[in-house]
Amino acid sequence: MTPQTLTPAVARRNSTAKNRVALVRPKKPLRWITTAAVSAAVVGLHAVAIEGTDFKPELLVDGWKGMAAFIGDAFPPDLSWEKTLKPGLEATLVTLWIGLLGTTLSVPFALLLAALAAENTSPHRLVYQGARAVLSFFRAVPDIVFALIFVTAVGLGPFAGVLALICHNTGVMGKLWAESMEEIDAGPQEALRTAGANRIQQVANATLPMVVPQFVGLLLYRFDVNVRSSLVLGLVGAGGIGLLINQSIKSFQFDSMLTHILIVLVLIIVVDQFSAWIRRRLAA
Amino acid sequence: MPLSVQGLRKSFSGRTVLQGVDFSVAAGELVAFLGANGSGKSTTLRCVMGITEPDAGSISIDGAALDSLQGRELQQMRQRMAMIFQKIHLVPRRTALDNVCAGALARIPTVRSLSPLLFPADVQQEALDCLDRVGLADRAFDRVGRLSGGQQQRVAVARALCQRADVVLADEPVSALDPHAAEQVMALLRELAHSEGLAVAAVLHQPDLALRYADRSIGLLQGSMTFDLPSTAVTAEHLDTLYAPDRNIAA
């Protein structure tokens, strides 16, 4: 915006105007004290956090040689088909399948719990509180802990990873879905209630069809997150490319490790582009 | 009388909104409620519909007082009234036909109402007939979100028809529509009242629309009725008193 020039007409109007409204900003005397207190608190918290995490940049500067040697060992990446690329690609597919099943198989559980844990669709206050508690539990336990538990039941391998993701994802997606149902316009549901529809009919014919776009968007976002989580699950023995990365580090084959990481990079980009594409089509 | 209301009173946290409203709507009649902002027009309809609980007053449908009924019987009696909303309240992602079928949910078993694919064939046929009566049979399989505002409100009217209501309560049905669509919807409501014998009560913001389309007009001023006259008998003086509160705020 260009600064307004004072035209003669405006100047005349200003000078002749009687009874002008006086410009007095309301005083807020405690404002600067609040600002200072908040700033001091933030700085203080950071000081404590730096102390608590042994955050010492000089260590990083001194030790750069070790890091350079490690990265130097990784170059060039090992591109031999039989030894690295083929097992890497196969394991990546397994990682993708773990993420896919972990997402889709949690849908029925997440849907049921979301409907019970949203204020506008839950049948009773107690059910609402109960469903919230169940969702909180599944969300609070990290997927890696679920994986360790399931490994003791079904042994090492991708199946344990799928089970772990189903549990954790039910908690997260159920919560996200419940929130998007609570934000939806309540009008259509009220219209069906006045027409004599029962609770289940109201949810099935007004609430759920209203939230489908948000639900699918969140589902794709969780698929994206779950594929990346299944990498980490591989590190604790739940199969997939994570397992290969772990093995190549333990056997000092850093060039293979780099190849696997590059494959993962491609996988993440592909999954990200895919879900962005679907979400664009939904929005249109 | 399909709908008769006596001594309707309502106050919200000490502020009296309705102080004894009596009216009735006959079959085949379109009655308009007029009044300034806050005069209690919408509250009257919401009390009749049971969305808002009135403090006192009796509501009868076909001579049966609602307060003498309970549970399932009350529920069935209420279903003979259908509501049309200012904000339309359809599901935009569903087709016009599926939205109209939803008016019949009270007649459909719960398992068959979980998805539009399971709706009984006779309900779907009836819904299509209802759409035909509002002139939108050719748009039955279009998503409601793709229809214009006026068309959407006509789909909402079709949903009320599919509910098999004898009484239609319309809460500012045309306030969100452009003038042409407003005329169309008012003409439709009048035509349905006259040709199908529905009792229609509509809260309206525009007195000129009311006087042109309604058979009878009721004026509400601060929760009391100031007139209940055939629309042809309503004069400029009547309207002047009625909208005095709005002018005072503006002045």
Partner residue facing A212 (CB), from B75, B93, B113 = B93
Distances in Å between the Cα of A229 and the Cα atoms of A96, A99, A107, A143, A235 are 10, 8, 17, 8, 10
Q: Is B230 helix (H, G, I), strand (E, B) or coil?
A: strand
pLDDT above 70 for B246: yes
Partner residue facing A188 (CB), from B82, B89, B116 = B89
| Angstroms from A206 CA to nearest CA on chain B | 6
Span B100-127, average pLDDT: 94
Query: Any idea which of A126-130, B69-73, B105-109, B237-241 has the lowest mean pLDDT?
Result: B69-73
Q: For residue range B118-128, what is the model confidence (pLDDT) as tens digits?
A: 999 999 999 99
pLDDT above 70 for A16: no
Length of chain A: 284
Residue B13: per-residue pLDDT: 85
| Angstroms from A111 CA to nearest CA on chain B | 14
Distance CA A41, CA B194 (A): 72
Residue A280: per-residue pLDDT: 84
Residue B250: per-residue pLDDT: 58
Q: For residue range A168-200, what is the model confidence (pLDDT) as tens digits?
A: 999 999 999 999 999 998 899 999 999 989 888
Residue with the two structure tokens 């004026």? B219
Pairing between strand B167-171 and B15-25?
unpaired
pLDDT above 70 for B53: yes
| Angstroms from B98 CA to nearest CA on chain A | 9
What's the pLDDT band for A37 if we cut at 50, 70, 90? very high
DSSP for B126-160 reads HHHHHHHHTT-GGGTTSBGGGS-HHHHHHHHHHHH
Instruction: For residue B124, list chain A residues with Cβ-Cβ distance below 8 A.
Output: none
Q: Which residue of A has its CA nearest to B74?
A: A196
Residue B170: per-residue pLDDT: 94
Q: Write out residues 183-202 of A within 8 Å (CB-CB) of B.
A: 187-188, 190-192, 194-198, 200-201
Average pLDDT, chain B: 91
% of chain A at pLDDT higher than 70? 94
pLDDT above 90 for B230: yes
Residue B200: per-residue pLDDT: 95
pLDDT above 90 for A101: yes
Residue B35 falls in which region: left (phi positive, over 0), alpha (psi -120 to 50) or beta: left
Query: Any idea which of A82-86, A157-161, B136-140 has the lowest mean pLDDT?
Result: A82-86
Q: Which two tokens stand for residue B208?
A: 């000129």
Residue A1: per-residue pLDDT: 46
Q: Which residues contact A5 (CB under 8 A, 6 or more apart)?
A: none
Number of Cα atoms under 13 Å in the Cβ half of residue B152: 23
Residue A182 CA, distance from chain mean position: 20
Query: Any idea which of A237-241, B70-74, B103-107, B245-249 has the lowest mean pLDDT?
Result: B245-249
| Beta-bridge partners for B64 | B61
Sketch out chain B's domains with CATH numbers: 1-80+166-251 (3.40.50.300), 87-165 (no CATH)
Contact yes or no for A212 and B51 at CB 8 A? no
Angle between helices A254-283 and A86-104 (to 10 degrees): 40
Span A150-154, average pLDDT: 89
Q: Which residue of B has its CA nearest to A186?
A: B89
Span A2-15, average pLDDT: 67
Q: Which residue of B has its CA nearest to A212?
A: B93
Distance CA B186, CA B210 (A): 9
What's the pLDDT band for A14 if we cut at 50, 70, 90? low
pLDDT above 80 for A5: no
pLDDT above 50 for B158: yes
Query: Any idea which of A266-270, B70-74, B87-91 has the lowest mean pLDDT?
Result: B70-74
Instruction: For residue A212, list chain B residues with Cβ-Cβ distance below 8 A.
Output: 93
Query: Any idea which of B111-125, B138-152, B236-250 has the lowest mean pLDDT?
Result: B236-250
Partner residue facing B106 (CB), from A188, A195, A210 = A195
Distance CA A258, CA B224 (A): 81
Sketch out chain A's domains with CATH numbers: 78-283 (1.10.3720.10)
**A30 or B180, higher pLDDT:** B180
Residue B123: per-residue pLDDT: 95
Q: Are B188 and B154 in contact (CB under 8 A)?
A: yes
Q: For residue range B29-47, what is the model confidence (pLDDT) as tens digits?
A: 999 999 988 888 989 999 9
DSSP class of residue B61? E
Span B69-91, average pLDDT: 88
Q: Which residue of A has its CA nearest to B161?
A: A195
Distance CA A54, CA A56 (A): 6
pLDDT above 80 for B135: yes
% of chain B at pLDDT higher than 90? 65
Pairing between strand B56-61 and B29-35?
unpaired
pLDDT above 80 for A2: no
